[in-house]
Structure 1
Amino acid sequence: MAFVCRDVTVNLGSTPVVKSVSLTIAPGEVVGLIGPNGAGKTTLMRATLGLLPFSGSCSLAEMPATSRARYAAWLPQDREIAWPIPVEALVALGRTPHGASISRLTRQDAEAVRRALEKADMWAFRDRIATQLSGGEKARVLLARALAQETPMLLADEPIAGLDPAHQIATMEVFNTQAADGRSVLVALHDLGLAARFCSRLVLMQAGRKVADGRPEDVLTAHNLAEVFGIDAYRVETADGLLLQPLKLAAKT
């Protein structure tokens, strides 16, 4: 089932933050949501999940809450972990939409938790207390919790922020694997180089509007980089895909 939103508009108070954005994501796609700070990326994602009031329509937000929890996993950029519980128990919370109890997991639930921990490179940390982890380790265990839901769709807001380069790449590879298995992924990113390399499609936002939607090489043009991000960048096509490295602030005209 495709994820479809039409004319989503979100007002925070009297301020329009997302302005008539339409978006479709098919199974098998990794769609990168990019744009400068304040572009409306997080607000759009929260609205599509039914976490914020909006006008327009969205197939996900219109589902009953229980169905939505089985269809989409949400990885917010806030990495606060409230309870000093073992990592494995925290990840097992991802199974609650399927009726699991962390004190009494079925074999299927336990296998899902193990797979998620391994994908996030956190299996060796399964007995550690989650609140005692480093920032990057917390990011990976929360990714594992989202993966443990084993939903058809994953929405992730800045999941690679604060990770070392190896785990940034590994996380993006996990998203590609999810897509290869027929799932849909929507991921908000500030790292344009990794967005170019690992996303099958990019959606560029500016001031609450969608200004471009397409292949990375068609979205990350010199014009868009200068107009939306205010930067010049080095771009080159390689055997591994588009390589993009921001270089300097764009000259003001």
Structure 2
Amino acid sequence: MTLLTLNNLTVRRGECPVVDRVSLTIAPGDCVGLIGPNGAGKTTLMRAALGLLPHEGTSSISTLKPHERARLAAWMPQSREIAWPIAVEHLVALGRLPHGRKPTPQDRAIIQDALARMGLDAHRDRPATELSGGEQARVLIARALAQDTPLLMADEPIAGLDPAAQLATLEVMQDLAREGRGVLLSLHDLSLAARFCTRLILIDRGQIKADGPPQSVLTPENLAQTFHLRARIHDTPEGPFLQPLERLT
């Protein structure tokens, strides 16, 4: 069983492929980190997979009707602006809209669980616009969690969070995978990606360069060729830890 299947997915800007013939699958229990340098095509790949961008090739979820797609996959984009002073709990509750019914005790339990997972119990009644940027990011993650979908896709979910909040967020993502969901995250912190993801997909110039366990993807050769980086890789009980040493030209 797979939750997402891409087959030769291609996105073009003019004649230039930004995502170039990407094929991959995400299954229940996968916590997949999508890594690569800035401009590699990570965001474009995720948006095309969701049917938010025109593309060639196929995505198993892009052709679904919007309400079906929203019940299968939750999406957290990079943009995190909250424009209205809505209470945090009410904003998180918007994640239940794809289920198309009046709130039930089950809905309320899911909303409370999302608030608790993201450490937002104390903020539930506060207008979301009064929170810090990092706190607002956690609110939007909680809204995605409240969707309670088999697949969660998030674009740089820990960007702008303090170190403790980064760990807490990735622990939530890891727990979701352990509960049998599929998780696809784009990440820039390679050490955290290696620690929390069961699998890494390295993308550069729109193409997959490596796909597998963190130890097999984060090699000196891949770091040099894709990130133009020389790094020392330390094996630790929590997974590989990367110490950047030198930018290669």
- Structure 2 length as normaliser, TM-score? 0.97
The answer to whether structure 1 residue 4 and structure 2 residue 5 are counterparts is yes
1:121 aligns with 2:119: yes
Match of 1:191 in 2: 189
Q: Distance in 1 between matches of 2:237 and 2:35?
A: 23
2:93 corresponds to which residue? 92
Q: Structure 1: how far apart are the matches of 2:119 and 2:26?
A: 27
User: 2:168 matched to 1:167?
Assistant: no
TM-score by length of 1: 0.95
1:50 touches 1:61 (CA, 8 Å); kept in 2? yes
Q: 1:109 aligns with which of 93, 107, 112?
A: 107
Deviates more, 1:203-212 or 1:7-16: 7-16
**2: CA distance, partners of 1:109 / 1:100:** 10
Q: State the SS of the aligned residue for 1:111.
A: helix
Q: How many residues align?
A: 248
* Aligned-CA RMSD value: 1.1
What is the deviation of 1:64? 1.7
Which of residues 229, 232, 245 in structure 2 aligns to 1:231?
229
Q: Name structure 2 gaps, 5 residues minimum.
A: none
Shift of 1:126: 0.5
User: Are 1:232 and 1:249, in contact at CA under 8 Å, matched by a contact in 2?
Assistant: yes
Q: Are the equivalent residues in 2 in contact too, given 1:39–1:208 (CA < 8 A)? A: yes
CA drift of 1:100 comes to 4.1
Deviation at 1:94, TM superposition (A): 0.2
Aligned counterpart, 2:28: 27
Aligned to 2:210: 212
* Distance across 2 between alignment mates of 1:234 and 1:17: 30
Q: After superposing the two structures, state which structure 1 stretch, 228-237 or 22-31, moved more.
A: 228-237
* TM superposition shift of 1:83: 1.4
Write the letter of the residue equivalent to 1:23: L
Identity in percent: 59
What residue in structure 2 maps to residue 138 of structure 1?
136
CA distance in 2, matches of 1:131, 1:23: 38
How far 1:165 sits from its partner (Å)? 0.5
1:65 Cα offset (Å) = 1.3
Separation of aligned partners in 1, 2:154 and 2:201:
14
Q: Distance in 1 between matches of 2:186 and 2:36?
A: 9
Deviation at 1:248, TM superposition (A): 2.3
Alignment correspondent of 1:176: 174
Farther-moved stretch of structure 1 (202-211 vs 234-243): 234-243
3-state DSSP class of the match of 2:18? strand
The 1-side partners of 2:234 and 2:200 are apart by 17
Give the match for residue 45 of structure 2. 44
CA contact (8 A) 1:197 1:241 kept: yes
